Amino acid sequence: MKNSDWEIPKNLQPNPDNYKFDLERVLSSVVGVRANVPDDAFTAGTLGTERTGNGVVFREDGMVLTIGYLITEAETVWIITPDGRAVPGHALAYDQGTGFGVVQALGQLGLPAIEFGDASSLQVGSPAIVAAGGGRQHAIETKVVGRQEFAGYWEYLLDDAIFTAPAHPFWSGAALIGPDGKLHGTGSLILQQGDGKRRTDMNMIVPVACLRPILDDLLTMGRTNEAPKPWLGLYAMESEGGLVVGGLADGGPADKAGVQAGDRILSVGGAEVSDLAELWRKVWASGAAGAQVKLRLGRDDGDVSVQVTSADRTSFLRSPRLH
């Protein structure tokens, strides 16, 4: 979808008169991000080959912060400026732990850099703006409706995610801007909460506080200096009956070990698990990537024990090319 094809309703857009900072200047730091991934890339089947989202300029030498799944295994990356220019970019870094990605512009952006804020100042009820690239018509006034742990089915865990509502419809890599005009987080997901009669759409935001300790590593090495966590390559879901394997990464460690879709995950290393956060913490406590992870699984024909030789997730991914 092109930038000209949509617009946030005017009554939901931020009004410059309501802010003490230069709203237009801050929003001009938010850009579009377009990435193309080869058909045979490891993530092509799950994330697609043409990915569209947003990013925000955080250094005037052309460093753009985005959400990492947009640029994973990208062969080409384009940064779309608010005035419609397309500048080539390089997928410089992707941190599996936080989900952040960094793109380096390979041409002049000519855009101001946004300053990082202190996300701890955003509490439940705090007003904020979630902005996609393209200026005020692509930004929405919102509020923080939650700050809590978030566990994702793809072996992902945040201790302190930010949740905002109303949700931005084009959230991927969107900028969470606080009342101080600073960047407080990057959009990752849209989630629904409700009882069937009434539904609330929310954005899950990764706070920039998670970025600060690892930023230097990402800019110099493309990843953190920490030992990679053990990765199983399974997609787990919470259900009334506990944890269930919803799917497997083809050729991943769990697939090779004989884990099956539909298996119930009962324990890790002999310790029972009942939710996603507990599952991933137990797996990661097994050691670094390459560690043996013992799973006890429930199947219709009885419980089975499976030994999974974990791996470094990035070893399955294509390295970015510098053009």
Tens digits of residue pLDDT in 200-224: 899 999 999 999 999 999 999 999 9
In a domain, 12, yes or no: no
The CATH code of the domain that includes 297 is: 2.30.42.10
Cα–Cα distance measured from residue 214 to residue 243, given in angstroms and rounded to the nearest whole number: 31
Same domain, 125 and 108: no
201 and 123 part of one domain: yes
Residues with Cβ < 8 Å from 102, sequence gap 6 or more?
Answer: 63, 64, 65, 66, 92, 93, 94, 218, 219
Domain match, 193 and 247 both: no
Residue 31 within any structural domain of the chain = yes
Phi/psi zone of residue 196: left (φ > 0), alpha (ψ -120 to 50 degrees), beta?
left
**Inside any domain, residue 306:** yes
Residue 109: the pLDDT is: 97
Residues 25 and 76 in one domain: yes
User: Is residue 264 situated within a structural domain?
Assistant: yes
With a cut of 70, say whether residue 196 has pLDDT above it: no
Among all chains, which residue has been given the structure tokens 């419809």? 169
Expressed as residue numbers, the domain containing 179 is 119-209
Does residue 297 carry a pLDDT above 90? Answer: yes
For the chain, give the longest Cα–Cα distance: 66
In a domain, 5, yes or no: no
Give how many domains the chain has, as a whole number.
Answer: 3
DSSP-assigned letters across all residues of 242-263: EEEEEEE-TTSHHHHHT--TT-
Both 44 and 101 in one domain: the answer is yes
Does some domain include residue 254? yes
pLDDT attached to residue 195: 63
Nearest residue to 203 (alpha-carbon basis) of 216, 219, 217, 192 = 192
pTM above 0.85, yes or no: yes
157: domain CATH number is 2.40.10.10
Confidence (pLDDT) at 1: 40
Asked if 109 and 21 sit in the same domain, the reply is yes
pLDDT one-digit tens code per residue, 234-289: 999 999 879 999 999 999 999 999 999 999 999 999 999 999 999 999 999 999 99
Mean pLDDT rounded to a whole number for the chain: 95
**Is residue 261 domain-shared with residue 299, that is, in the same domain?**
yes
CB 31 within 8 A of CB 80: yes
pLDDT above 90 coverage of the chain, percent: 91
**Which DSSP string corresponds to 64-129?**
EEEEGGGTTT-SEEEEE-TTS-EEEEEEEEE-TTT-EEEEEESS----PPPPB--GGG--TT-EEE
Tell whether 84 and 151 lie within a shared domain.
no
Q: Decide: helix, strand or coil at residue 200.
A: strand
Among 220, 156, 163, 176, CA closest to 54: 176
Q: Is 201 inside any structural domain?
A: yes
C-alpha 200/C-alpha 129 separation (Å) is 18
The SS3 of residue 266 is: strand
Asked if the model's pLDDT at residue 70 lies above 60, the reply is yes
Q: Which of 221, 244, 259 finishes a domain?
A: 221
Does residue 226 fall inside a structural domain? no
Same domain for 152 and 80, yes or no, is: no
Same domain, 95 and 126: no
